Copies of this chain bind each other. A is one copy, B any other.
Amino acid sequence: MNPLPGQMMQMPLLISNLIRHAARHHGDTEIVSRRIEGDIHRTTYREAELRSRKFAQALARLGTQPGERIGTLAWNGYRHFEIYYGVSGSQRVCHTINPRLFPDQIAWIANDAADRVLCFDLTFLPLVEQIAPALKQVRHFVLMTDRAHMPAATTLPGLLCYEALIDAEDGDYRWPEFDENTASSLCYTSGTTGHPKGALYSHRSSVLHAYGAALPDAMGCSAADVILPVVPMFHVNAWGLPYSGPMVGAKLVFPGPFLDGKSLHELFEQEQVTFSAGVPTVWLGVINHLKCAGLKMSSLKRTVIGGAACPPAMRQTLEEDYGVQVIHAWGMTELSPLGTLSRLKARHATLPPDAQRALLNKQGRAICGIDLAIVGDDGRALPWDGRSSGDLLVRGGWVIERYFGEAGSALRELDGQWWFATGDVATIDADGYMQITDRSKDVIKSGGEWISSIELENIAMAHPAVLEAAVIACRHPKWDERPLLVVVKKPGADLDRATMLAFYEGRIARWQIPDDVVFVDEIPHTATGKMLKLKLRQQFEGHTLP
């Protein structure tokens, strides 16, 4: 019961409003894409919005209905961008699939989502031909290319050409108005155990996230920016940049499949990119290229790094050698994805550089719209003292309430409010800066104290002979669990157990030093490059600690 309604215009928060705003107020602003074919393609927001509307018309002509899922297997490019808007704007659901997953996982996900149409880049034609027999609900396959690049022969029944679909429409289509809580897009998490689960975003949650993500203390996006999202559009909507960019009228630059350091640096320079975003691995490639070729960055001012913790050395190199400010971020698929970003407050301006860096190396502060809490083993809230470490909970308007297709809520209760348990273990300090110390299933519980596997891995990684390191919990009769270090040595490097363990002395509290080291040829990974610690734990289940 509303005692007195406000008297403001009722306008639903719809994703189509973002592209309409860009087309009207930033119509000539460019969208530049490096195509699969290798050439550079240029369009504008005005043109992209028109083509999005044509794609919406095509979807209706293909017989798809509001609420149905349209799958994509595609790189960052203007056609993928148009599909984002054409699908969501016409009240269908844009389901971006990670093409780096194993083929049977991709088929499983497309079936779970009941995708009616599958749109894909030329790159993925063989992949789609391979899995097509298993795709039970797909009625139309759309190759995201022009007529000239259509294959002479294919096993796909009735393969459609994206440009032919667009050409057949007149664009006489007005974006429909509907309930802002309607599903807009779907993204599956790349779970390290079990089947992937889908996060089903709404128009409202996506638009609120776009506002939050564009704020100065988050991505800080403006029309003065040229934005190159390295993070893929199949990876949690490229962290929302295809929404925040049009919202503020930034020029967009899409790198296509060319994510190596040389290709990226070329695009940064040619298009005078000011802002980018990607995972640490990508920046490693860029830095290596810059170093080897003796190059500089002439326009890039800042980048968001997330998806995995940004090594402090990477920040230092980008900031000091290349003048690129690093903004450390944390999020997850279930958060659309942005939760926290690390930026200083006014009163930190006078801190010594080391203290500033220590803050900036944390995962950062919550964007308004997201709240954080940490809880201990007893499920009760822990203090924000920068030391107490517990399960990280979040709540907010761009956090999932349940997974796609599941009947039960994904939330838990704390102090009379509902929260999503992230599966991360973190500390929060008095200023609200959050730092991830572990994944909750990877933390080592030794005699009632928690030991961070990430911290132990970071130390091992700093040893010059270590290529990769994982720390897992091993059963222990007295302490319950104790850390075991699993190491892959660099080719030809010499390293033994005693030397490795001695390396920890003085770098961490004595009781946290691993009890043992095992050397292996390889650490198992998921398709998205995350270490499969579950497999490691199974492998070393019977390992006897000394």
Give a binary string over A387-405; 1 marks a CB under 8 Å from any B CB, 0 the rest. Answer: 0000000011111111110
Give a binary string over A238-264; 1 marks a CB under 8 Å from any B CB, 0 the rest. Answer: 000000000111110000000000000
Q: Indicate how many identical chains form the complex.
A: 2
Given the known interface contacts A214-B215, A368-B21, A368-B247, the answer about A9 and B346 at a Cβ–Cβ threshold of 8 Å is no
Q: Does A446 contact B (CB under 8 A)?
A: no
**A224 close to B343 (CB less than 8 A):** yes
**B401 close to A8 (CB less than 8 A):** yes
Contacts of A7 in B (CB 8 A): 183, 199-200, 202, 400-404
Describe A's contact surface by its main secondary structure: loop
Measured in the bound complex, the distance between the Cα atoms of B249 and A369 in whole Å is: 13
Closest B residue, CB atoms, query A10: B401
Q: Quick one: which of B6, B272, B395 contacts A200, CB cutoff 8 A?
A: B6
Interface residues of A in 1-16 (CB under 8 A from B): 2-11, 13
Given the known interface contacts A28-B430, A212-B211, A221-B216, the answer about A368 and B6 at a Cβ–Cβ threshold of 8 Å is no
Q: Quick one: which of B9, B184, B399 contacts A9, CB cutoff 8 A?
A: B399
Q: Quick one: which of B182, B215, B225, B411 contacts A6, CB cutoff 8 A?
A: B182
**B202 close to A346 (CB less than 8 A):** no
**Residues of A in contact with B, size category:** 35 or more
| Given A7-B404, A8-B398, A217-B249, 18 additional A-B pairs, CB 8 A | A3-B65, A4-B182, A5-B182, A6-B200, A6-B205, A7-B403, A8-B201, A18-B368, A21-B368, A24-B371, A25-B366, A25-B432, A29-B347, A211-B212, A215-B222, A216-B248, A223-B343, A251-B346
Residues of A in contact with B (beta carbons under 8 Å apart): 2-11, 13, 17-18, 21, 24-29, 65-67, 91, 93, 174, 178-179, 181-184, 199-205, 208, 211-212, 214-217, 220-226, 247-251, 272, 274, 343-347, 349, 365-366, 368-369, 371-372, 395-404, 411, 416, 418, 420, 430-432
